[in-house]
Structure 1
Amino acid sequence: MKVTLVSRSGREFIKGGLELNDSATVADLQEAIHKRTKKFYPSRQRLTLPVPSGSRERPVILNYKKSLKDYCDGNENTLTIVFKDLGPQVSYRTLFFFEYLGPLILYPVFYYFPVYKYFGYEEKRVIHPVQTYALYYWCFHYFKRIMETFFIHRFSHATSPLSNVFRNCAYYWTFGSYIAYYVNHPLYTPVSDLQMKIGFGFGIVCQLANFYCHIILKNLRSPDGSGGYQIPRGFLFNIVTCANYTTEIYQWLGFNIATQTVAGYVFLVVATSIMTNWALAKHRRLKKVFFFYLSNY
């Protein structure tokens, strides 16, 4: 079988194309491309079928598990494929680890070290119980996230663009420092003990519920991340489509009830906006794939 590779502009990507066995899979083609151009390892490649000029149809993305013959017309022994370079890639575990590591390290810096003297405040400060509990709560949350990344989450996509590491780290690390600065500030005014207990108590329940939601999602996929789209069932998923996002939002609400800072609520609003968009997108996708799906998002 002869495979012709072209760019989206129609320019031939590998001169003369590639000759492969008739039984070759898309994965075999990706390896062949990698051998010819070392820079383009398989996870950096996006292979699609050509779209007729002027068509608004989305291109068909080739599944690495399928045979190339599955994408041929009739008995043809030639295939034209559009190649796109996705750029440098990193695994999702690497991405999540670094974005969560920042807040886990930066927050304690504001609690334990005399950083406020560099902002014009005296080194001595009174540490309120709520600030200590906030530290424990915060560190537990991000430690939990890192552990889930390595031992719970199963990813449908193997990699993410390297640029997402810088974008996501900027988001998490900046907000982590922003919140830590004000919660641990020498002039911080604590809420009442009752409000603190309600906030942290509610937040811990939501964190545990969030963990259980991730267990449910884990069981929907095989260890290699395959399995396609499936409808989550059980627990809070019987009420909302993305119970994992719901519990994530509420656990941050609990943190903010207990600590009550503008920085914390700004983060809550931004995070809620982002996760709401994700939830709506997933809800629409499930309704499209499963026409009988009627759950609320």
Structure 2
Amino acid sequence: MQIRIESRSGREVVKGGLELPDDATVADLQAAFHAKIKKFYPSRQRLTLPLGPDQKKATVLESSKKLSDYFSKTSKPVVVFKDLGPQITWTTLFVMEYLGPLLLYPLFYLFPQALYPWAVNSQISANRHDYQFYALLAWEFHYAKRILETLFVHRYSHDTVGYYFLLKNCTYYWGFALVISYFLNNPLYTPVSETQMLVGFGIFAVAQLSNFYTHLILRNIRPPGSKGYFIPKGFLFNYVTCANYTTEIWAWIGFNIATQTLMGWVFIVGGATQMTIWAVGKHKRLRRTFDGKDGTVKYPRRWVIFPPFF
């Protein structure tokens, strides 16, 4: 089977195409492509079929399928290639974005003399509150948990992601870690009442444990190496499509109730907005995939992310 690989503009990417056995898989094609052009390793390749006359979205070739699933023996196979750019694993991305907050936040608590040079030592010690220490413990627990979940719990439907996301995500998480810690550990920080602190950290603790449980549920419904979509069931997933995001949002609501900084609220508004966009997309995909037609299961009626509002 002779495969022509071209760019979206129609330019031939591999001169003369690639010759592959009739029973070759898409993964074999990716490996042969990589052998010809070394920088285009398989995870950097996006291979699709050419768009049909009335087709708006291209068909992506799945690496596990055979080329014969897409092309007949009499056809002249053409594959459209898009360079996804340099890739990193999801594990690397998440560890890096969470490691920053874990290490940066404690600096303002541990070294106030160096980072608040305008404050004299007596002012720093007189204005140090127990609540700031509790906030430090909560913050460190959260990001240590996220790193451990990344290493030992999460499974991903895709192996890699573009380097761009490393820069974007680290800028968000590391930047907010610095500004939240700066204001929360500031000698001029005014703590909330004890009741508000206890309520806030109580919400945080319950939400964190619930969030961990939702991640275990998601892990257990996705067998190792599996692709595609699954319907999560059990616990809060019986009511909310993205219960993992719901509990994440509530954890940060609790943290901000207990600590009450402007930048903390800005952080959760930004995070909740992004999670809501992801949740809407996932909810639509699940409803589209499990539409109850042709013998498929119908996706149950659920809230998207934040009952009873959305």
Question: Contact (CA 8 Å) 2:86, 2:163: kept in 1 or not?
Answer: yes
Which shows bigger deviation, 226-235 or 4-13? 226-235
Partner of 2:48: 48
Partner of 2:63: 64
Runs (4 or more) in structure 1 with deviation over 6 Å come to: none
1-side partners of 2:52 and 2:15: how far apart? 22
Correspondence 1:21-32 to 2 at 5 A: 21-32=21-32
Question: Contact (CA 8 Å) 1:220, 1:227: kept in 2 or not?
Answer: no
Unaligned runs of 5+ in 1: none
1-side partners of 2:65 and 2:119: how far apart? 64
1:153-197 Cα deviation digits (max 9, x unpaired): 000011000111001000101111111111101100111111111
Matched letter for residue 257 of structure 2: I
Matched letter for residue 2 of structure 1: Q
Partner of 2:2: 2
Count of aligned residue pairs for this structure pair: 293
Matched letter for residue 268 of structure 1: I
Report the CA distance shift for 1:195/1:140 in structure 2 as closer, same or farther (over 3 A): same
Structure 1 SS opposite 2:11: coil
Structure 1 SS opposite 2:229: coil
Question: Contact (CA 8 Å) 2:158, 2:227: kept in 1 or not?
Answer: no
Shift of 1:77: 5.6
Length-normalised TM-score, structure 2? 0.92
Structure 1 SS opposite 2:80: strand
Partner of 1:140: 141
2-side partners of 1:269 and 1:157: how far apart? 27
CA RMSD, Structure 1 to Structure 2 (Å):
1.2
Partner of 1:201: 202
Partner of 2:222: 221
Correspondence 1:1-297 to 2 at 5 A: 1-52=1-52, 55-73=54-72, 75-76=73-74, 78-114=76-112, 115-118=114-117, 120-124=118-122, 125=124, 126-224=127-225, 226-291=226-291, 292-293=298-299, 294-297=301-304
1:231-272 Cα deviation digits (max 9, x unpaired): 110000111110000000000000001001111111111111
Report the CA distance shift for 1:254/1:3 in structure 2 as closer, same or farther (over 3 A): same
Matched letter for residue 98 of structure 2: Y
1-side partners of 2:76 and 2:19: how far apart? 9
Shift of 1:127: 1.8
1-side partners of 2:121 and 2:79: how far apart? 64
1-side partners of 2:116 and 2:270: how far apart? 30
Structure 1 SS opposite 2:247: helix
Structure 2 SS opposite 1:78: coil
Length-normalised TM-score, structure 1? 0.96
Task: Indicate the percent of aligned positions where both proteins have the same amino acid.
Answer: 55
Structure 2 SS opposite 1:15: coil
Question: Contact (CA 8 Å) 2:2, 2:20: kept in 1 or not?
Answer: yes
Which shows bigger deviation, 193-202 or 29-38? 193-202
1-side partners of 2:137 and 2:34: how far apart? 47
Shift of 1:17: 0.3
Structure 1 SS opposite 2:251: helix
Question: Contact (CA 8 Å) 1:206, 1:247: kept in 2 or not?
Answer: yes
Structure 1 SS opposite 2:3: strand
2-side partners of 1:117 and 1:203: how far apart? 28
Partner of 2:295: none
Question: Contact (CA 8 Å) 2:101, 2:143: kept in 1 or not?
Answer: yes
Structure 2 SS opposite 1:14: coil
Shift of 1:227: 4.2
Question: Contact (CA 8 Å) 2:99, 2:143: kept in 1 or not?
Answer: yes
Matched letter for residue 30 of structure 1: Q
Question: Contact (CA 8 Å) 2:50, 2:80: kept in 1 or not?
Answer: yes
Matched letter for residue 20 of structure 1: L
Shift of 1:205: 0.7
Report the CA distance shift for 1:191/1:62 in structure 2 as closer, same or farther (over 3 A): same
Question: Contact (CA 8 Å) 1:117, 1:123: kept in 2 or not?
Answer: no
Unaligned runs of 5+ in 2: 292-297, 305-310
Question: Contact (CA 8 Å) 2:44, 2:87: kept in 1 or not?
Answer: yes
